[in-house]
Amino acid sequence: MRTTGPLKVNVADAVVNRRRGGEIRVTLSPRTVGATSGFGGELRLAPHEYVTEHYHPYSEEFIHLVSGELAVSLDDEVTTLGPGDSLLVPIGVRHRVTNTGTAPAHVVFHLGPLAPRPELGHVDTEPLANPDQPHMDVGDRS
The confidence score (pLDDT) of residue 136 equals 65
Tell me how far apart the alpha carbons of residues 139 and 38 are, in angstroms, rounded to a whole number: 8
Which strands, in side-by-side order, build the sheet including 23-28? 16-17, 23-28, 39-45, 105-112, 60-67, 86-89
The pTM score is 0.90
Tell me how far apart the alpha carbons of residues 51 and 129 are, in angstroms, rounded to a whole number: 7
**Tens of pLDDT along 35-73?**
999 999 999 999 999 999 999 999 999 999 999 999 999
Which residues of the chain fall below pLDDT 70?
A: 1-5, 135-142
The confidence score (pLDDT) of residue 133 equals 83
CA angle 62, 89, 55 (to 5 degrees): 115
| 67 domain residue, yes or no | yes
Tell me how far apart the alpha carbons of residues 49 and 70 are, in angstroms, rounded to a whole number: 10
The confidence score (pLDDT) of residue 104 equals 98
CATH for 107: 2.60.120.10
| 110 domain residue, yes or no | yes
Please list, in sequence order, all residues whose beta carbon lies within 8 angstroms of the beta carbon of residue 125, skipping any fewer than 6 positions away.
Answer: 53, 54, 55, 94
| 142 domain residue, yes or no | no
The confidence score (pLDDT) of residue 118 equals 87
The answer to whether 18 and 24 are in contact (CB under 8 A) is yes
| 102 domain residue, yes or no | yes
When divided into structural domains, the chain yields a total of 1
| 109 domain residue, yes or no | yes
Range of the domain at 63: 45-114
| 19 domain residue, yes or no | no
| 134 domain residue, yes or no | no
Please state whether 85 falls in left (phi above 0), alpha (psi between -120 and 50) or beta: beta
| 7 domain residue, yes or no | no
